[in-house]
Amino acid sequence: MEPMVAIHGQGGDEVLQTAVQYGIKNILVYGGPGTRHMKFQEYVTLRMRIESFGLKLAAIEGGFSPDLNYHDVIFGGPKQDELIEDLLIQVRDMGRAGIPIYGYNWMPNSWGRAQPTIIRGGAMGTGYQYDWENDRRPKTFGEDMDEGTMWDALEYWIKAVTPVAEEVGMRCGIHPEDPPVPQRGGVPGLFRNMAAFKRLVEIVDSDYNAIEFCQGTFSEMPGEDIYEMIEYFASRNKVMYVHFRNVSGKAPAFNEEFINTGYVNMKKAMRTYRDSGFTGNFIDDHCPLMIDDTDFPGNLGGYRSRLFAQGYIAGVIESVKKEVEYGGPVDMSAAGKGASS
Amino acid sequence: MRIGMGLNSSTNTETLRYMAQLGVQDVVLNTPPVPVKNGKWELVDLVSLKNRVNEFGLTLTAIENTQIDMRHHLIAGGPRFDEQLENMVETIRNIGRAGIPMYTMSWRYPRFYRTGHVDIGFGAQGTAFDADVEDWPNVIDWELTRERAWECLQTWVKTATPVAEEYGVRLGLHPVDPPIPVVGGVPSLLFNFENHRRLIEIYDSPANALLLCQGSFSQFAGADQDNGESIYDMIEYFVKRNRVLYVHFRNVSGTVPKFNETFINKGYVDMYRAMRIYAENGFDGFFMDDHAVGTIGDTDWGHRARAYSNGYIQSLIETVTDTSLYGAH
């Protein structure tokens, strides 16, 4: 279990030097297969640039699903086979270039939020509130898409990509639907609950058919227990890496929070990963927007907000590892007994 | 156990707003911009200072140090000892009247210093001290023996502590940093475990306490040895006796005569083990990040480096005690 940080593009010198100075050795780069079709040599160049800073390119995260050109893969359209062939070339290029992990999603509408929420001290967290009784949003594709057809297309894809992933040694895994709601704009949110992920990992039983475990999104799933999901999937080696962020509640109404002010007990979560034998990495993912912060070339949140989350992640990883030899945290009901005051 | 943060010589808006966003529960102002009037700090200026912090939804828990020229004769036994003693005691009364619960200071003259900076990895910078380079000129033009230096400290503690108790203030002294016996011709006292034990025995009260700069204690000769006087032993000793107001939670590479500061989780001190000792012994104060390391693109004050340290400290407090700092669960 180690910290990881996610960046956009090639990563300027400042962000890579920041990572290495703070001891965050694992880098995730947003990108991967899609219309731009990055080539083998470009992946090698990217990896070597990151390694030249003393860092490791530990994962690439992205997703072709919001890319209109690939929608026949998601919905089983006429160009499905042709597009999958194109995607598998890209997956092979990544794997051969030494990228160990590819995280993607199955969200044709990408991710979504509504009104942001002012949280502590004037900082801002993304928010989601939706009035399901009065759903007036337009249909993304002009009609309701069929969930069964989408599952068929997904299974077809997983059976095609997993052997290729195994061949090139690159684990592939899917990010949950965020927000985890039944449909948005007539498009079913396939990965909105635990049952969907159980179904996913059973399509092909392989470590290379896995999950991009966005703990934030799993925490937003109504009716699910976050610790149970961590335990279930981590103990089966289905978690590639973790988006370690916190939220105030579950869909359809929640907002993002600072890492230790949401409803999820992050210490308990980290202990669950540890006890489930998880050995992967943790990224901060989205961080609150802090006033006066400086832009960070990655996901939501600037340098200050992200480094706060990174400090917290480093501390909680170190603590849950070390507490094992002490038999757990300090028993505060017994603390201070015998003190002179 | 709570999370704090300090600000030096300023009450600037950006930093107070930053503290509010990070959830800082105790604000420490080090040498704040309070005017010195006839050698003292006046009540009206202290109330104004406190209100300035309150405006951000924050709490001013401690003031750390007055301007050095209010107290250098007091510490170093100069000819104006009596006058500064009287003015500092009156300043303590005003701090109490203003409702600020702690006053801490470095019992040393001259004050904190280093001999340089070193690369602590990939261009990050930490302050460094090397006794071979150290070269302070004599800073006082009077004679000061070690015995007289102890007398000054004893007089301060015996005079100020009962006043502090009466006015609801707890006093805490910060160790000398770097912890060496003489600097600039002035004998220093608070550079080892033994002298701190002696300090708290001068007056038996929770108001005669320590600002436990864990960084400075870690720099004491022998603090890195398993000799019964290690950094962990010292923490336990003073916390157990309820003599620690708050903690400067920073890390270092080693001890005098040569050391440098480094990232909070990269020095020789096992910060997790240290945090357990505070918790096990019933510590009820707060932790702050203290000095910031220099990292690329950061502000002079170190907003990025401090955010990292603050997040790290918050996680250690919460994980060691298995509680939430903010009652979140």
> What confidence tens digit (pLDDT) does each residue in A13-47 have?
999 999 999 999 999 999 999 988 899 999 999 99
**Which candidate from A54, A260, A328 shows the least CB-CB separation from B318?**
A260
**CB count, 10 Å around CB of A300?**
20
Class assignment of domain B2-321?
alpha beta
Residue ranges covered by each domain of chain B:
2-321
Whole-angstrom distance, CA of residue B281 vs CA of residue B272: 15
pLDDT value of residue A10: 80
Asked if B108 and B153 count as a contact pair (C-beta separation under 8 A), the reply is no
* Interface ipTM > 0.90: yes
Residue A242 dihedral angles phi and psi, to the nearest 5°: -125, 135
**Which candidate from A18, A265, A322 shows the least CB-CB separation from B272?**
A322
pLDDT value of residue A269: 98
Our measurement of the distance from residue A65's CA atom to the centroid of its chain's CA atoms, rounded to an integer in Å, reads 15
Average pLDDT rounded to a whole number, residues A135-147: 90
Asked if B102 and B170 count as a contact pair (C-beta separation under 8 A), the reply is yes
Q: Is B142 on the interface with A (CB under 8 A)?
A: no
pLDDT value of residue A114: 87
Measured between CA atoms, how close is A115 to chain B, in angstroms? 20
pLDDT value of residue B174: 98
Q: What is the pTM of this model?
A: 0.97
Cα nearest neighbour of A338 on chain B? B240
pLDDT tens figures, B304-323: 999 999 999 999 999 999 99
pLDDT value of residue A340: 44
Take residue A106 and report the two structure tokens written for it.
């199955």
Whole-angstrom distance, CA of residue B254 vs CA of residue B264: 13
Chain A residues close to B122, C-beta within 8 Å: 17, 20-21, 53-54
**Which candidate from B18, B242, B321 shows the least CB-CB separation from A330?**
B321
Tell whether the model's pLDDT for residue A339 goes beyond 60.
Answer: no
Q: Is B296 on the interface with A (CB under 8 A)?
A: yes
Q: Is B325 on the interface with A (CB under 8 A)?
A: yes
Contacts of B154 (CB under 8 A, 6+ apart): B202
Identify the structural domains of chain A with CATH numbers, from first to last.
Answer: 2-326 (3.20.20.150)
Contacts of B7 (CB under 8 A, 6+ apart): B15, B16, B19, B27, B28, B29, B30
Take residue B104 and report the two structure tokens written for it.
């801490």
pLDDT value of residue A132: 67
**Which candidate from A265, A328, A338 shows the least CB-CB separation from B329?**
A265
For chain B, the average pLDDT equals 97
Take residue B190 and report the two structure tokens written for it.
């608070």
**Which candidate from B241, B296, B326 shows the least CB-CB separation from A261?**
B326
Whose CA is closest to A214, among A236, A249, A244, A259?
A244
Take residue B240 and report the two structure tokens written for it.
């157990």
Q: What is the 3-state secondary structure (H, E, C) of chain A?
A: CEEEEEECCCCCHHHHHHHHHCCCCEEEEECCCCCCCCCHHHHHHHHHHHHCCCCEEEEEECCCCCCHHHHHHHHCCCCHHHHHHHHHHHHHHHHHCCCCEEEEECCCCCCCCCCCEECHHHCEECEEECCHHHCCCCCCCCCCCCHHHHHHHHHHHHHHHHHHHHHHCCEEEEECCCCCCCEECCEECCCCCHHHHHHHHHHCCCCCEEEEEEHHHHHCCCCCCHHHHHHHHHHCCCEEEEECCCECCCCCEEEECCCCCCCCCHHHHHHHHHHCCCCCEEECCCCCECCCCCCCCCCCCCHHHHHHHHHHHHHHHHHHHHHHHHCCCCCCCCCCCCCCC
**CB count, 10 Å around CB of B133?**
12
Q: Is B18 on the interface with A (CB under 8 A)?
A: yes
pLDDT value of residue A336: 80
Contacts of B188 (CB under 8 A, 6+ apart): B108, B149, B176, B179, B180, B181, B182
Q: Is B201 on the interface with A (CB under 8 A)?
A: no
Interface contact flag, A54 B122, Cβ < 8 Å = yes
pLDDT value of residue A35: 82
Whole-angstrom distance, CA of residue A203 vs CA of residue A209: 8
Asked if A30 and A6 count as a contact pair (C-beta separation under 8 A), the reply is yes
pLDDT value of residue B281: 98
Tell whether the model's pLDDT for residue B165 goes beyond 80.
Answer: yes
pLDDT value of residue A169: 98
Our CA angle for B140, B144, B148, nearest 5°, is 140
Chain A residues close to B310, C-beta within 8 Å: 308, 311
Tell whether the model's pLDDT for residue A341 goes beyond 70.
Answer: no
Whole-angstrom distance, CA of residue A60 vs CA of residue B272: 32
Cα–Cα distance list, A77 to A80, A83, A128, A185, A189 (Å): 5, 10, 31, 19, 18
Contacts of A330 (CB under 8 A, 6+ apart): B276, B279, B280, B320, B321, B322
